[in-house]
Chain A
Amino acid sequence: MNDRPVKLIAADSYWIGSFEAMASPCELFMEVDEEAQARQLLNIAAQEAWRIESKLSRYLNDNPVHLINNSGGNPVEVDEELAQLLDFAQLCWQLSEGLFDITSGVLRRVWRFDHGSQLPRQQQIEQVMPFVGWQKLTWSRPFLTLLEGMEIDFGGIGKEYAVDRTLQLLQQHTDRALLINYGGDICTGGMRLSKQPWSVGIENPSHPDTPKGVLKIRRGALATSGDTRRYLIHNGKRYGHLLNPKTGWPIDAVSRSATVAAATCTEAGLLATLALLQGPEAETFLQNQDVQYWLTS
């Protein structure tokens, strides 16, 4: 049925499962005894990650998101799960006063973050801006109506949502300690037998793939938002890939990445993204939220 590779290895006192999903390496740490159970949990996690990926992906041709993005201005009825995600996206749009906006994906048509030095012209940006803005669509549960040319993009919350959903699913099958790590978006569940925390390596943005430090996490979730890998440099100035949906230009970022700890991955990811969207105010924002955070510039 699915020929995507899934690997299971044994470590010290736990099993590590890995697979690819949502364009990221995905790892599942499980402190269970039997290999059979580890394999079962791994399969459940992988299936759920792939299910969410195919539902929310922009790149597939017959999934709900594709239907919505090609609805030609007509209302589309969405299912319960998408309805909840849209409610959530709307709340985030309100809380961020418009900075977090899942309709801003269309801006990628003019911005290509390929480490190059080519900036788009203002005129090009202005041609796309009429299609950006949550206030322009009509979300009347369960019907979503986009203006023709608008698109929604769950890239900003999809991975963190998958992490949290997967943990919920797995916790219906085991009480044992679990750690889910989907490309740096992490969530933990259960209590480790040794009462030791999990050790997580944090990447150094200037030298990706070399851990900068090790973070110890006992419970809760961690998520990172950042542009360590996708950016442009023009006239010596660095342009990260987080765009301001109100102007169409990248946020004037002082920090390159923000990692936030919270109770759920979705919340951590949102806080990290919202922090970076504040530009130079990122640190003040995170201090006000009373959360643990790490900013790297």
Chain B
Amino acid sequence: MKPKKIRHALTAATCGLLGVNSSDSLGEEGDWSFDSAVLYYSEVDRVTAVEPVISATRDFGEARALNLKFVFDTLSGASANGATPSDQPQTFTRPSGKGAYTAASEETPLDDTFRDNRFALSSQWEQPINRDYKTGFGINFSTEYDYRSLSANANLSRDFNKRNTTLNTGLSLAYDTVYPEGNIPIGLSSMVIDDGQANYRSEFNATRGDSEENKDILDLIFGLTQVIDRKTIMQVSYSFSDVSGYLTDPFKIVSVLGDDGRPLEYRYEQRPDARQKQSLYWQVKHQFETDILDLSYRYFWDDWGITSHTIDLRYRWILDGRHYLEPHIRYYDQSEADFYRRFFIQGESLPDHVSADYRLGNMQALTVGMRYGMTLRNEQELSLRLEYYLQSNDNTESVIPGILNDMELYPDVEAFIVQLSFKF
């Protein structure tokens, strides 16, 4: 008795013979195909995330398809809150105002308040309009303990030149809401620490604003895909994103230090209420005898003063036809945001916007990994990916006060990534 998916292999083979993309009109109708994965992300001593995802696609014939994706992710651990280490233990107030967390002496302060679960659902519909035009629409919804996002997107593409050249454009609109426990902290206000003072509650409440804030996001993308030759395809695209609303991280603070480098107070961070991001992206894929090379470069810049370069290289080394090994390397380089400061020294005037979130600083990051995949008997695919991520942040403060000269102000962030995928 033949296994069922000989038909999938046959369809793929006929698509190869007739030179059509298997996701075009010559796909199987009425069949659901699934792609699933579980991601395990773990930072050394910090955040751990487990993220299962499942995606189902149904072909309705004539290149019309519906895709549904469900993601669940669970986050635990601790994340740097932006404060500097000190030679004595430090105490910080939890976002809710009830309780505190501490950092030991010489330890980078980490906030372990969040233990979050997120659910996200998206659906996407694609269809041709006529021989040359294709379009698609989708909606996405995501919710977690203190954050909710709703978005819709649409895209249009047009083929030219015997489908060798394709122009595409896309638009996405999103509306996000953040409603942290304890309400949104008032930016740049001083963090109130509970020392047992009688009016702690009212002092704390004075630093809290609304229960929720929103942000609007508009994304535009323009892309061009070009077939270079039988075995090479290339793409360039330009993206534009306009975000406005509450862009601050309500859990991050900035240390205000004395001349000796010890903290005098902590201020809640405040980012601008608008951000415009742009990027240029280029990608090429080329097949050698059997192996495939995938190389891409992205140049990003925004009006917060951040620019970055990302280079990503993958090489799929086909072993005997049913297995492959794919090494991967990614290099990332980012320049800091205009308002990024590691700390403030007493006497400096606080600007309108400041953040000590290391993710906005000068950094370089390297990812190296390997993926192994195999096709099973009934054309199902299984793969395992292992990656190592190392991020190092640079100092741009001209003066390092007192005790901080003996401390690690910019610890490396290291993470391990493991992902198991199954297509069926």
The chain A residues found within 8 Å of chain B, CB to CB, are 84-85, 87-88, 91-92, 95, 161, 164-165, 168, 171-172, 175, 219-220, 262-264, 266-267, 270-271, 278, 281, 284-285, 288-291
Closest residue of B by beta carbon distance from A269: B14
Closest residue of A by beta carbon distance from B25: A263
Residues of A within 8 A of B29 (CB): 220, 263
Question: Shortest Cβ distance from B27 into chain A, in angstroms?
Answer: 7
The reply on B7 being an interface residue by CB < 8 A is: yes
Q: Does the CB pair B25–A84 fall under 8 Å?
A: no
Q: Does the CB pair A165–B18 fall under 8 Å?
A: yes
The reply on B98 being an interface residue by CB < 8 A is: no
The reply on B199 being an interface residue by CB < 8 A is: no
Give B8-35 interface residues, CB cut-off 8 Å to A. Answer: 9-11, 13-14, 16-19, 25-29, 31
Question: Shortest Cβ distance from B280 into chain A, in angstroms?
Answer: 34
Closest residue of A by beta carbon distance from B130: A175
Question: A168: which of B7, B18, B62 is its contact (CB, 8 Å)?
Answer: B18
Residues of B within 8 A of A87 (CB): 16-17
Q: Does the CB pair B61–A267 fall under 8 Å?
A: no
Question: Shortest Cβ distance from A108 into chain B, in angstroms?
Answer: 25
Residues of B within 8 A of A271 (CB): 7, 10
Q: Does the CB pair B31–A290 fall under 8 Å?
A: yes
Q: A95-B10, A164-B14, A171-B131 are in contact. List 17 more A-B contacts (CB 8 A).
A: A84-B19, A87-B17, A161-B17, A165-B18, A175-B130, A175-B131, A219-B61, A219-B62, A220-B61, A266-B18, A267-B10, A267-B11, A270-B14, A271-B10, A288-B1, A289-B2, A290-B4
Question: A289: which of B6, B14, B130 is its contact (CB, 8 Å)?
Answer: B6
> Per-residue CB proximity of B338-367 to A under 8 Å, as 1/0?
000000000000000000000000000000
Given known pairs A175-B130, A271-B10, the reply for A285 and B17 (CB within 8 Å) is no
Q: Does the CB pair B18–A91 fall under 8 Å?
A: no
Closest residue of A by beta carbon distance from B3: A288
A-B contact count (CB 8 A): 70
Provide the main secondary structure of the chain A interface: helix
Question: Shortest Cβ distance from A208 into chain B, in angstroms?
Answer: 29
> Per-residue CB proximity of B80-97 to A under 8 Å, as 1/0?
000000000000000000
Distance, CA A161 to CA B16, complexed state (A): 12
Distance, CA A264 to CA B13, complexed state (A): 11
Q: Does the CB pair B16–A88 fall under 8 Å?
A: yes
Q: Does the CB pair B14–A267 fall under 8 Å?
A: yes
Residues of A within 8 A of B6 (CB): 95, 289
Given known pairs A164-B18, A264-B26, the reply for A91 and B9 (CB within 8 Å) is yes
Question: Shortest Cβ distance from A242 into chain B, in angstroms?
Answer: 17
Closest residue of B by beta carbon distance from A161: B17
Question: Shortest Cβ distance from B252 into chain A, in angstroms?
Answer: 54
> Per-residue CB proximity of B242-276 to A under 8 Å, as 1/0?
00000000000000000000000000000000000
Closest residue of B by beta carbon distance from A80: B230
Distance, CA A90 to CA B191, complexed state (A): 71
Question: B28: which of A84, A95, A263 is its contact (CB, 8 Å)?
Answer: A263
Residues of B within 8 A of A85 (CB): 17
Residues of A within 8 A of B61 (CB): 219-220, 263
Closest residue of B by beta carbon distance from A191: B62
Residue from A172, A264, A285 with most neighbouring chain B CB atoms (10 Å): A264
Residues of A within 8 A of B25 (CB): 263
Residues of A within 8 A of B14 (CB): 88, 164, 263-264, 266-267, 270
Distance, CA A164 to CA B11, complexed state (A): 13
Given known pairs A84-B17, A88-B16, A88-B17, the reply for A281 and B10 (CB within 8 Å) is no
Closest residue of B by beta carbon distance from A219: B61
Closest residue of B by beta carbon distance from A92: B13
Distance, CA A190 to CA B16, complexed state (A): 22
Residues of B within 8 A of A171 (CB): 131
Q: Does the CB pair A91–B13 fall under 8 Å?
A: yes
Question: Shortest Cβ distance from B70 into chain A, in angstroms?
Answer: 25
Question: A284: which of B1, B9, B19, B162 is its contact (CB, 8 Å)?
Answer: B1
Q: Does the CB pair A285–B11 fall under 8 Å?
A: no
Given known pairs A288-B2, A288-B4, A290-B4, the reply for A95 and B9 (CB within 8 Å) is yes
Distance, CA A266 to CA B13, complexed state (A): 10
Distance, CA A219 to CA B131, complexed state (A): 16
Residue from B7, B17, B162 with most neighbouring chain A CB atoms (10 Å): B17
Question: Shortest Cβ distance from A81 into chain B, in angstroms?
Answer: 10
Give B357-404 interface residues, CB cut-off 8 Å to A. Answer: none
Distance, CA A220 to CA B29, complexed state (A): 10
